[in-house]
Amino acid sequence: MLLVGLTGGIGAGKSTVSALLAERGAVVVDADQIARDLQRPGSPVLSRMAERFGAQILREDGMLDRAAVAAIVFGDTDEAKQALADLNAITHPAIQDEIMRQIEAEAGTDNIVVLDHPLLGEHPRDDLSATIVVDVPVELAVRRLVDHRRMDETDARNRIQSQMGREDRLARATHVVDNSGDLDHLRNQVDDLWAKLVALRDP
């Protein structure tokens, strides 16, 4: 097994790169999907979140209202920063346990396993053979979040601000994918990246 990390700031297009790598044969361990699974109605994680942040974060059907959580934890105030720290304390241990379970399930295979994790820079690992960063300029990320996800611009900027800075993230990269162009440009880069990962696995 070759384990590599994939990260990028919100709006960079990390999920698109992850999907392209999966098309080429990668086994993807998706931290965002794991988080969603762990926050389903009736789950211990969601119960603890509701205890901390109140019933306002739950929709009528019992599902998590992600926009309501975002409104609480993303901001420039001390209260928002503490709320984000509390959220991370609730969710991160459970997410990390499931990430490790999925990675360990691939041990002994010759698969290229991609850990798709938005906070890989904030939570570095010493078991990665490569760290891939999907990169776009901040203003382009903001525009994509507003145009494609219908996010309020202030919310988009707050979310970007809450993450590691672009330069710090790039400093941790062994491979950079520039997603400021079109899909063909991105596919060509992923083809090159995949060839490099295969060569890393099969020296």
Angle between helix 66-73 and 44-53 (nearest 10)? 50
5-44 pLDDT, tens digit per residue, is 999 999 999 999 999 999 999 999 999 999 999 999 999 9
Q: From CA 158, how far away is CA 48, in angstroms rounded? A: 24
Structure tokens at 109: 């295979």
What is the per-residue pLDDT across 136-162, written as a single tens digit (0 to 9) for each? 999 999 999 999 999 989 989 988 988
- The first and second tokens of residue 141, run together, are 């990320």
User: Residue 60: phi, psi to the nearest 5?
Assistant: -60, -30
DSSP letter at 126?
S
Average pLDDT score, the chain: 95
Percent of residues, the chain, with pLDDT higher than 90: 88
Give the CA count within 13 Å in the CB-facing half-sphere of 44.
6
84 phi and psi angles, rounded to 5 deg: -65, -40
pTM: 0.89
pLDDT band, residue 49 (cuts 50/70/90): very high
